[in-house]
């Protein structure tokens, strides 16, 4: 059974748009901050501040809402997860310890779970006509 081209374009764009926006948002919010802050007691924090991560999450709500409100939950979830995972891999892969893989895995699982939950709620609310 063949799908109409417009339906295929809708599904493809519902995956690609969140992926591209997620990667670009990572670069805009987190990609430029690469130094750790040294506290007076010698401990280090960072490189990201809470406001940067909150900004990233709020930015990602837009493409997730856009895709999920069109009942393309899989596209919203997969696109966002792939975009964030690829951006984290690219940003952190210069870590010589190899532990960046653990962080990238945490980004992948966290974005998968949270985006799935948010997308399911949005899609359900849109289905009820709200």
Per-residue pLDDT of the chain (130 residues; tens, 9 = 90+): 565 668 888 888 999 999 999 999 999 999 887 778 888 888 877 788 899 999 999 999 999 999 999 889 999 999 999 999 999 999 999 888 889 999 999 999 999 999 999 999 999 998 876 5
Q: Would you give the distance in Å from CA 9 to the centre of its chain? A: 21
Q: How far apart are CA 12 and CA 82, in angstroms?
A: 14
Q: How far apart are CA 12 and CA 86, in angstroms?
A: 18
Q: Where are the beta strands (DSSP E) in the chain?
A: 37-38, 44-45
Q: Are 14 and 76 in contact (CB under 8 A)?
A: yes
Q: Are 71 and 14 in contact (CB under 8 A)?
A: no
User: Which stretch of DSSP H or E encloses residue 56?
Assistant: helix 50-68
What's the pTM value of the predicted model, to 2 decimals?
Answer: 0.86
């Amino acid at each position: 059974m063949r799908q109409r081209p417009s339906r295929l374009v809708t599904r493809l764009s519902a995956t690609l748009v969140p992926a591209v926006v997620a990667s670009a948002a990572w670069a805009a919010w987190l990609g430029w901050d690469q130094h750790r802050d040294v506290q007076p007691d010698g401990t280090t924090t960072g490189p990201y501040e809470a406001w940067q991560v909150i900004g990233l999450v709020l930015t990602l709500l837009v493409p997730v809402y856009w895709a999920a409100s069109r009942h393309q939950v899989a596209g919203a979830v997969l696109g966002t997860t792939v975009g964030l995972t690829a951006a984290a891999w690219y940003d952190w892969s210069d870590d010589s310890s190899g532990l960046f893989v653990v962080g990238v895995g945490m980004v992948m699982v966290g974005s998968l779970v949270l985006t799935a939950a948010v997308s399911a709620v949005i899609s359900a609310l849109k289905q009820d006509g709200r």
